[in-house]
Structure 1
Amino acid sequence: MSGHGERPDGDRLLDETLADIVRRTGASAGAVYLWDEAAGVLGLVVICGVPLEVAWPWRRVPLSAPVPVCDAVREDRLVWVGSQEEMVRAYPRAAASLPYRIALAAAPLPGGCRGALLLMWPADRPLGADHPVGATPRQQGNISSAARRVARVLADSAVPPAVPEQPRLVAVGSAPRAPNGPSPQAAADYVERLPEGALGLDLQGRITFVSDSAATLLGSDAARLLGTRPWLSLPWLDDSVVEEQYRAAVISRDPVAFTAVRPPDTWLEFQLYPDASGISVRISRAPATDPGRPESGSVPRPVGVPTPGGMPTRSAGSAPAGSRETGRLYQLVHLAAALTETVAVRDVVELIADQVLPAFGADGLVLSAAEAGRLKITGYHGYDRETIDRLDGLPLDTRVTPAGKALDDGIPSFFASPGEMARRYPRAPQISGKQAWAFLPLVVSGRPVGCCILSYDRPRSFSADERAVLTSLAGLIAQALDRARLYDATRDLAHGLQQALLPHSLPALPGLETAARYLPASRGMDIGGDFYDLIRIDAGTVAAVIGDVQGHNVPAAALMGQVRTAIHATAGAPPDQVLARTNRVLADLETDLLVSCLYAHIDLVRREAVLASAGHPPPLLHRPDRPPSVVRLDPGPLLGVDPGVSYPLTPLSLPPGTTLAFYTDGLVEAPGSDPEHAAEALARELARYGGQELEPLLDILLRHARPSAHYTDDIALLLLRTGAAPEAGRGPGPERP
């Protein structure tokens, strides 16, 4: 159990509930995640069944991360992954850092508890099933029932649930043993009579039992081994293969085996048998005629060579020069996979702050980019704003910090204490107050990109292993940062173009209320070709337009501006003619992009509208005292398909108090949903809140369509509501841009 002091009753009950769920479902491990509102991430609260080091890369994950628990919470659904192959296809990042035969389920917590229950099983026996293809409806019901049980515990807690700084680790426990079994002394005597050695490990890898014969084979004293991890207390077992085999056993619950040489030349075979309470290890001398034994301890034995016990084995080499921490390597694999998914510079900064800093125990981060001979800070964590202002914009040849020199010569710099830093850079410790630093130059193909600085609040030495891993990580960060800066530059250009082309405000007309909203996608380029417009024709006539240009890039935003201009130039003509002329303009532009568009000519005096659609979703309609509906249109082809097509007209009456909602497909299209059903549900919401002002109504419709605020596509939404008819006078004619 991590942490100190007495746990609150709610925490204790949650821990006991999770352990009981793991036992009842036959899972090998379980965890509970909760939403951390302040940090904006899902935080790991409690875990059981696996070492905390295994879950460390997943301690805090952004809701947008492509991992099962995030999908479960974001999409409010049970996520089931039945095999390692399915994990690779659906969640490659998770598969890279958990390369084991497991099945898992992530279930959202109901009842207002934003979080998830995560359960894992050995892949060949999830939930007691004979195959890992999928969970049956009954099994899915059991998992959902377990999630409801966790939610009830959280809801009944006297203290509101919170995400702790360090996740709690609880023991799964085991079922009571049958009565009249052998006494502990009889069991110990039985073990001691066996020629093989017997070793017991808990799920954290610590030795809980060691027989005399095992201690003899290991060449150590039993009392010195108890409570330690074998790869730490026995230098000749300090090999990544050893820890990896332990991790494979504890996570997959599969028996595994390996051989290792005890200096100078004694080969031992280790067979690991895991269950929910720990791992039993059988130690014996490797057969002298073992065909897989290498001639030298430095050559690893191939994976898959059968042993007398029938398990595939792998050999550990002789003691390496220095500790090779498998957990650190898994963190590197996990971080490498995560960095490939970052898009913008802010994503890179958030990933480093959320995952790199905890992985290496760092307290502060400064990420600088090389721009025009200066170090421009693009992100930071763990520093106050005043310090960042003093460090921002320093020249590359600065003597204030080692950042410029590290970037100039491409060699990382590590400083274990302020004294070590002050000998070469006297001003640096005074500026930040930090006690240790790692300056990692970010270089891509020999070109300096920037510098990543990790800092610590206490003095810290950097082992050779840490330096090697951090140096490798710097190369991955450099590539991610370079891609992100290019993306940001392109996005800013397109976004600026798009915002310049969208209307800054809607014209005010008597007898018509209006409101509009444009939302970029929450992931991706953040720009696109969605557009809307309201064009005043005269005092009693207006044209409402909404459309969507194919693509999310600069050409899409540019074409959107050209389409808007073409529509403005012909506004006031019948809707079918407006679309037909705009269609011919697109043909003259010879663009490969297609455009959907809905044009409505609205007569506020006669209270009627005429609509024409070029492949665009139909608007939502709510008239007073009548059921809401989706307007039935006969749409023509998309603009840009055929310059000679015609567009059917649809008349529509608009009595006072009528609300029309024009939207782009991002509002109703989502993976696994039917756009028509989504539009009908939105129409019902439109009627339900028909008495609201239009601005609040915009928010209501958007929240209903996208409750998680996760937009996979741009959304444009234009609301119109008719009031009292204006006087019948006509103005001078249509406005022009």
Structure 2
Amino acid sequence: MAARFSPPDGRPDGDGRDALAVDLLGVLEEVGAHTGGIYRLEPGGQVLELAVIEGLPREFVRPWERISLTAPIPVAVALREGRLVWVEGEEEMVRCYPGLALALPYQFRMAALPLATDTAPCGGMFVLWPCSHPSRLSSGERDRLAAAATDLARGLEKIPRTGPPLRAGLEPYVPGPPGGGRAEALETMVARLPEGICAMDDHGRLTFISPRGAALIGESPRRLVGARPWRVLPWLNDPVYEDRYRAAMVSRQPTSFVALRPPDLWLSFDLYPLGSGITVRITPAPVEPGDVPAPAPSVDPAIPTRVGAIYHVLHLASALTQAAGVQDVVDLVADQMMPAFGGQALALLTAEDGRLGVVGHRGYPPEITAQYDRLPLRSPTPSTRTMVTGVPSFFESPEEMDQIYPMAVAPDDGMAAWAFLPLIASDRPVGTCVLAFSQPHHFTVEERAVLTSLGGLIAQALERARLYDAKLELAHGLQESLLPHALPRLPGLTAAARYLPGTEGMEIGGDFYDVIRLTDDTVAAVVGDVQGHNVTAAALMGQLRTAVRAYATTGAGPAEVLARTNHLLADLDPGLFATCVYVQLDLRRRVAHLARAGHPQPLLRHPDGDVRVLDIPGGLLLGVDPGAEYPCTEVLLEAGSILALYTDGLIETPGTDLDDALADLGAELARTGEQNLEDLADALIRHARPTGHRSDDIALLLLCPTADPVPDPESDPAPAPAPEESGPPAARPRAPRGRDGGPPPPSVQ
């Protein structure tokens, strides 16, 4: 039986949705599936709205009636990527879509496809099979689904894109004709069975119950037929029992449960799903009252806890586990809550110095959020009242808002309905979540309960995120003070540097670089990598950089600089090791002296484009052996050659051979080396990070001797050394850029 959709005003469905449901049912029959749904892409192109569902009642899919196009859900992924998405079972669902798996913990196989016309994408569809289906789609099934997607897209386009939101209209139950003929014979046959038998449709309503079944349950068949058992029988009003019914419907696999009919009769319910319903066998259960605990009775029978509401809460809870910073929380809450409840705007408010503060919002223009921001907590507005008292407020229309707040002190945000949810963490209010609707909205009892529960989840995630952001800001401030703000400008040399923290953890690490003016014609350059990606590694990195600079400016050669730094690190005994490559360049003679401590080999690009690895001998990692020695190697450099020093984050990728990665980086340097040094650094960084995920930091330093004349200290008086940041701003080397090539974050300026 299909769940037909009609406008909320009850007008007959004449806009093509019935025909679309019939077409979908035909597709399900052809491919042997039991459930399917069609989503329509809303005009804004960011939200998918469920238009037709076959095989399951609406309450099963209520949390996903409206979903963000960015949601990690197969039908959204299929539309975003323009491909068929196949989920072969529960394990793959847990691995690829953990939030959905938590909310639908059942065994089934799923296919999701995009729906598109010749002009543009218009929606998506999903199809479910029981796990008895093979673990792979056959070529015939794929072809049929692809053809069906084209046909259904045309039908979906015929549904108007304007008007009220689509709603599911549940078909009323109509009992069959009274007994007679074959029906009477079947009822007589079933009545002879010692166990009770009943039948349920795909909306969970009883369509038949045998006399024995009614006697075991203890109710009149007339009261049971046409009703959902958990709605009329208080002792079955428990999410655990409804969950078993859902499991049977979604997985199409038999299941069972045991329940206590007061005062002391235990009954076993065996559910056998087939077609558009379920057959249930009811028998006395051979258990003692003390063996199975009875479910707790509902405190208020009029406000039952529905399992769908529980799954809605679980779904958001799973999504919030992915949030790190405050903006992550804002984005996840907006992506989950606004489509699910049909809201058009959302704001998260917190208290700071006795005033409200907007930590994030979606759907509000800046002039509206300004009305919330910096509002005194003593102001008698719904947002401040909710934060101070910790009591949620729901306003279904502007008239209702005006009745309670007649002084018009509530911000005028142009909306027509609001839910003000307290954000309570550790038993104290920490903020308010405002969910607003552009049209009057009726908040059901269940919806109010779910929204209030979600407020608690949001509060916990927001508190964690604010703590994370505070620690991250502190760490970035530390790293900003440890890395050079600019490179020195020297005649005869151009240089460019980039630093990118890893994207895991607190996005800080122990990679460092530096360029040190020694004399007018001599410069030192260093690139190092301290073990670890945390504040300890960053602090030790600062100590090593300072030590290298101090030893270099005393006139020590490369071998002695590394030996002294190694001895210092061994004395500090931080429990961490470091790698390092140190170069001293004579700019007038264009000669480089290099020493290496366990660090990746430098690359040298000659002016003709040839690139080779400088296979220079090296010593142990810094901090391993206080007496380690570090040999020094001399290399001649031509004008226009490029010496590339880097940390292993530039070449190490899980699953990639290190030699292959180094050869690949050399090929990229050969191909792009004709660019100016700043653009070349950007190109090498882009090549090393095709995705935004990095498990390690990256430091890159490019040095290019030029043909510009270098002062000869023996013939010309040495000019006064210029400050490292001297010169016109346009001539200064660019500071290391951020991870996306834009302005650098504080830690990499």
Q: Is it true that 1:487 corresponds to 2:468 in the alignment? A: yes
Q: 1:234 to 1:487 in 2, by over 3 A?
A: same
Distance in 2 between residues matched to 1:614 and 1:249, nearest whole Å: 64
Q: Is it true that 1:689 corresponds to 2:689 in the alignment? A: no
Structure 1 partner of 2:561: 578
Cα distance, 1:76 vs. partner? 14
Q: Is it true that 1:240 corresponds to 2:250 in the alignment? A: no
Structure 2 partner of 1:706: 689
User: Over residues 648-698 of structure 1, what are the superposed CA-to-partner deviations in whole Å (9 max), with x where a residue is unaligned?
Assistant: 334444334433333333333344334443332222222222323333333
Q: Which of 546, 554, 573 is equivalent to 1:565?
A: 546
Q: Which of 647, 663, 672 is equivalent to 2:655?
A: 672
Q: Is it true that 1:476 corresponds to 2:457 in the alignment? A: yes
Name the SS of the counterpart of 1:617 in structure 2. Answer: coil
Question: Is contact 1:298-1:317 (8 Å) kept?
Answer: no
Question: Is contact 1:117-1:147 (8 Å) kept?
Answer: no
Q: 1:589 to 1:317 in 2, by over 3 A?
A: closer
Q: 1:664 to 1:269 in 2, by over 3 A?
A: same
Question: Is contact 1:520-1:526 (8 Å) kept?
Answer: yes
Q: 1:562 to 1:28 in 2, by over 3 A?
A: farther
Question: Is contact 1:418-1:436 (8 Å) kept?
Answer: yes
Larger Rg: 2
Question: Is contact 2:66-2:340 (8 Å) kept?
Answer: no
Distance in 2 between residues matched to 1:211 and 1:49, nearest whole Å: 19
Distance in 1 between residues matched to 2:188 and 2:452, nearest whole Å: 51
Q: Which amino acid in structure 2 is aligned with residue 407 of structure 1?
A: M
Cα distance, 1:443 vs. partner? 3.0
Name the SS of the counterpart of 2:247 in structure 1. Answer: helix
Cα distance, 1:353 vs. partner? 0.8
Please give the root-mean-square deviation of Cα atoms over the aligned residues, in Å. 5.7
Name the SS of the counterpart of 2:601 in structure 1. Answer: coil
Q: Which of 703, 718, 726 is equivalent to 1:720?
A: 703
Cα distance, 1:501 vs. partner? 2.9
Distance in 1 between residues matched to 2:124 and 2:703, nearest whole Å: 40
Name the SS of the counterpart of 1:524 in structure 2. Answer: coil
Name the SS of the counterpart of 1:528 in structure 2. Answer: coil
Distance in 2 between residues matched to 1:229 and 1:88, nearest whole Å: 31
Distance in 2 between residues matched to 1:271 and 1:713, nearest whole Å: 54
Q: Is it true that 1:445 corresponds to 2:426 in the alignment? A: yes
- What TM-score, normalized by structure 2, do the two folds share? 0.71
Q: Is it true that 1:410 corresponds to 2:407 in the alignment? A: no
Question: Is contact 2:201-2:207 (8 Å) kept?
Answer: no
Name the SS of the counterpart of 1:566 in structure 2. Answer: helix
Q: Which of 269, 290, 298 is equivalent to 2:285?
A: 290
User: Over residues 79-132 of structure 1, what are the superposed CA-to-partner deviations in whole Å (9 max), with x where a residue is unaligned?
Assistant: 998775687688765543332345789999xxxx9x999998766x5734xxxx
Cα distance, 1:234 vs. partner? 9.7
Query: Which runs of no fewer than 5 residues in structure 1 stay unpaired?
Result: 129-138, 170-185, 302-315
Cα distance, 1:300 vs. partner? 4.6
Q: Which of 278, 282, 296 is equivalent to 1:281?
A: 278
Q: Is it true that 1:594 corresponds to 2:577 in the alignment? A: yes
Structure 2 partner of 1:306: none
Aligned counterparts, 1:88-107, within 5 A: 93-101=99-107
Structure 1 partner of 2:638: 655
Distance in 1 between residues matched to 2:429 and 2:390, nearest whole Å: 8
Q: Is it true that 1:382 corresponds to 2:381 in the alignment? A: no
Question: Is contact 2:258-2:285 (8 Å) kept?
Answer: no
Q: 1:91 to 1:53 in 2, by over 3 A?
A: closer
Q: Which amino acid in structure 2 is aligned with residue 549 of structure 1?
A: V
Distance in 1 between residues matched to 2:517 and 2:49, nearest whole Å: 51
Question: Is contact 2:595-2:632 (8 Å) kept?
Answer: yes
Distance in 2 between residues matched to 1:47 and 1:619, nearest whole Å: 61
Q: Which of 379, 393, 402 is equivalent to 1:422?
A: 402
Structure 1 partner of 2:248: 249
Cα distance, 1:545 vs. partner? 2.0
Distance in 1 between residues matched to 2:302 and 2:655, nearest whole Å: 53
Q: 1:413 to 1:55 in 2, by over 3 A?
A: closer
Question: Is contact 2:492-2:706 (8 Å) kept?
Answer: yes
How many residues get paired? 669
Distance in 1 between residues matched to 2:445 and 2:346, nearest whole Å: 21
Q: Which of 595, 602, 609 is equivalent to 1:612?
A: 595
Q: Which amino acid in structure 2 is aligned with residue 395 of structure 1?
A: P
Structure 2 partner of 1:346: 327
Question: Is contact 1:543-1:601 (8 Å) kept?
Answer: yes
Distance in 2 between residues matched to 1:665 and 1:382, nearest whole Å: 43
Distance in 1 between residues matched to 2:712 and 2:50, nearest whole Å: 66
Q: Which of 124, 131, 134 is equivalent to 1:127?
A: 134
Cα distance, 1:325 vs. partner? 2.9
User: Over residues 411-462 of structure 1, what are the superposed CA-to-partner deviations in whole Å (9 max), with x where a residue is unaligned?
Assistant: 3333333333333433244522333333333333344422222222233343
Name the SS of the counterpart of 1:533 in structure 2. Answer: strand
Question: Is contact 1:529-1:559 (8 Å) kept?
Answer: yes
User: Over residues 178-213 of structure 1, what are the superposed CA-to-partner deviations in whole Å (9 max), with x where a residue is unaligned?
Assistant: xxxxxxxx99999778628675755xx488x95797
Q: 1:627 to 1:736 in 2, by over 3 A?
A: same
Structure 1 partner of 2:744: none
Q: Is it true that 1:332 corresponds to 2:339 in the alignment? A: no
User: Over residues 629-656 of structure 1, what are the superposed CA-to-partner deviations in whole Å (9 max), with x where a residue is unaligned?
Assistant: 4443444333333333222334444334
Name the SS of the counterpart of 1:423 in structure 2. Answer: helix
- What TM-score, normalized by structure 1, do the two folds share? 0.72
Question: Is contact 2:259-2:294 (8 Å) kept?
Answer: no
Distance in 2 between residues matched to 1:34 and 1:590, nearest whole Å: 62
Structure 2 partner of 1:175: none
Distance in 2 between residues matched to 1:467 and 1:414, nearest whole Å: 8
Question: Is contact 1:57-1:331 (8 Å) kept?
Answer: no
Q: Which amino acid in structure 2 is aligned with residue 611 of structure 1?
A: L
Q: 1:593 to 1:212 in 2, by over 3 A?
A: closer
Cα distance, 1:407 vs. partner? 2.8
Question: Is contact 1:73-1:116 (8 Å) kept?
Answer: yes
Distance in 2 between residues matched to 1:33 and 1:733, nearest whole Å: 72
User: Over residues 121-147 of structure 1, what are the superposed CA-to-partner deviations in whole Å (9 max), with x where a residue is unaligned?
Assistant: 766x5734xxxxxxxxxx69989x999
Name the SS of the counterpart of 2:61 in structure 1. Answer: helix
Cα distance, 1:348 vs. partner? 1.2
Which sits farther off after the overlay, 621-630 or 684-693? 621-630
Query: Which runs of no fewer than 5 residues in structure 2 stay unpaired?
Result: 7-12, 115-120, 168-180, 191-195, 725-749
Q: 1:106 to 1:630 in 2, by over 3 A?
A: farther
Q: Which of 358, 372, 389 is equivalent to 2:353?
A: 372
Distance in 1 between residues matched to 2:442 and 2:265, nearest whole Å: 35
User: Over residues 517-570 of structure 1, what are the superposed CA-to-partner deviations in whole Å (9 max), with x where a residue is unaligned?
Assistant: 223334531333322222233344332222233334433333332222222222
Question: Is contact 1:269-1:283 (8 Å) kept?
Answer: no
Q: Which of 604, 615, 622 is equivalent to 2:605?
A: 622
Distance in 2 between residues matched to 1:34 and 1:628, nearest whole Å: 54
Structure 1 partner of 2:64: 56
Distance in 2 between residues matched to 1:240 and 1:28, nearest whole Å: 24
Cα distance, 1:483 vs. partner? 1.6
Structure 2 partner of 1:498: 479
Q: Which of 506, 513, 530 is equivalent to 1:549?
A: 530
Q: 1:361 to 1:512 in 2, by over 3 A?
A: same
- The percent identity for this pair of structures is 47
Cα distance, 1:350 vs. partner? 1.1
Distance in 1 between residues matched to 2:588 and 2:125, nearest whole Å: 58
Q: 1:679 to 1:340 in 2, by over 3 A?
A: same
User: Over residues 32-65 of structure 1, what are the superposed CA-to-partner deviations in whole Å (9 max), with x where a residue is unaligned?
Assistant: 99999x99999999999877727729944769x7
Distance in 1 between residues matched to 2:244 and 2:97, nearest whole Å: 23
Q: 1:542 to 1:251 in 2, by over 3 A?
A: farther
Which sits farther off after the overlay, 561-570 or 719-728? 719-728
Q: 1:387 to 1:248 in 2, by over 3 A?
A: same
Cα distance, 1:332 vs. partner? 0.6
Q: Which amino acid in structure 2 is aligned with residue 460 of structure 1?
A: H
Name the SS of the counterpart of 1:704 in structure 2. Answer: helix
Question: Is contact 1:435-1:458 (8 Å) kept?
Answer: yes
Question: Is contact 1:517-1:718 (8 Å) kept?
Answer: yes
Q: Which amino acid in structure 2 is aligned with residue 330 of structure 1?
A: Y
